[in-house]
Amino acid sequence: MKSVEIKYTNLFINNEFVPAKSGKTFEVINPATLEKLADVAEAEEADVDSAVLAARKAFHRNSAWRKLDPSGRSQLINKLADLIERDQEILSTIETMEVGKPLIESKYSVGLAVQVLRHYAAWCDKFFGETCPAPGNLISMTRKEPVGVVGQIIPWNGPITMLGWKWGPALAAGCTIVLKPAEDTPLGALHIASLVLEAGFPPGVINVVPGYGRTAGAAIASHMDINKVAFTGSIPTGKLIMAAAANSNLKRVTLELGGKSPLVVCEDFDLDKAAEISYRGIFANAGQICVAPSRVFVHESIHDAFLEKLVAKAKSRKVGNPLETGIEQGPQVNEAMFKRVINYIEIGKTEGAKLVAGGKPLDKKGYFIEPTVFADVTDSMRIAKEEIFGPVLCVLKYKTMDEVIDRANNTHFGLASGILTNDINKAMTYASAIESGLVWVNGYMSMSLSSPFGGYKQSGIGRELGRYGLENYLETKTITINISPAI
């Protein structure tokens, strides 16, 4: 078991690490040991103002950042990716200590951030305007320009991955950034801020302001000099951010807000594979993943056999300190999430669902909960309707494809979904009819960085990744030229 030294705990504004103007700090706790990792500077409105001012200066038309050609931006983004990759061991250990996810998952998260940054480094010179048909002596054309200063608020469950997803397209477009990491997990972002300095980004291009949502987050959402805000997190907070954006300067908003994702297991699919896919999908990162398949619909003809295999896997899962070798599941990120999950487990039992695996906290220091499986779940139960965001799986029976599609769609969420079948007709029927932004067939959570990521309904607005994510950071300007006729 190992840990790393925490070197960076101050705000990062205008290429300098500085304390909060108020002098306030907040504690960051390791959820596996309940030990304090660091005291981190707490940004408030005045600090956000300073960060926005630095970002605004860096975005000025005559700034070093704006004068960089696309290849220059690409080189800087690639340099940052190289430095993150160099420090992958440090960063993955920090993420494991902050979030509580096993080290192998944290290494994947850091690696994914590197891939996304490199992906967008290649986009810097690949977005174009166009000429448009125009009458008479007019020439009409469009020009793609960066939207401006962007505020980005990222969650605690995958902080380094989400940093890459947010920074990549913003930097490729030529925007400047004010990032607020979650208060539970600011340390990885602050370490990467030191790499921004090492990479040679001009002052003010990237700023990192750890703090609480009610202060720093609210200041970003309502700031009159921020042109766009991007947020990943809960629906209630997303609604507050959207309202604040509307009530301030009507800034652009993109939101990714979680889900209650269905996975349909058909009778023609291999049971061992189905149990493995379901198991890995729901219990990764202790169930703290927005796309986790928390509702698994199983055809009635194979339900009992499937459930037996799934329960055996859940009961054998190794839960403990995620820095230890062989651990498959760590703790919930904090006490509030721990209590939330335990409360939902009690709700499930009270509602009449059958607890067939787990359901208890571990008798050890830290916020550990057993992998939990409920059977005999009905659609009307709260555990089947509400996002738990923990290691809790609801297994439901179904009879027909029409029935299961309607039941899967009966939710205000619409982020992700999946189907396991060897019948292409069933697969395409489901994929076409399901109301979600992501559909996986015969797998779950596989990724293509060129493909858009985002949700239907209350699971979000806008898309991330690929050219779809880039478009959210670009304005389209129309230029019309009146050509005088030759004399």
Task: For residue 464, report the phi and psi dihedrals to the nearest 5 degrees.
Answer: -120, 160
Q: Which amino acid is present at 357?
A: A
Instruction: Quickly list H helices, 38-102.
Output: 45-59, 64-67, 70-86, 88-99
Q: CA 99, 105, 107, 112 torsion: positive or negative?
A: negative
Buried/exposed code over 18-38 (b: 16+ C-beta within 10 A; e: otherwise): eebeeebbbebbbbbbeeebb
Eight-class DSSP state of 240: H
Q: What angle do CA 65, 70, 74 make, to 5 degrees?
A: 90
Q: Please list the active-site residues.
A: 256
Query: What is the C-alpha to C-alpha distance for residues 423 and 359, in angstroms, rounded to an integer?
Result: 35
Beta bridge partners of residue 451, listed in sequence order? none
**Tokens, residue 328:** 């498959």
**Tokens, residue 415:** 């982020």
What residues contact residue 175 under an 8 Å CB cut-off, 6+ apart?
59, 146, 147, 148, 149, 150, 227, 228, 473
Buried/exposed code over 363-375 (b: 16+ C-beta within 10 A; e: otherwise): eeebbbbbbbbbb
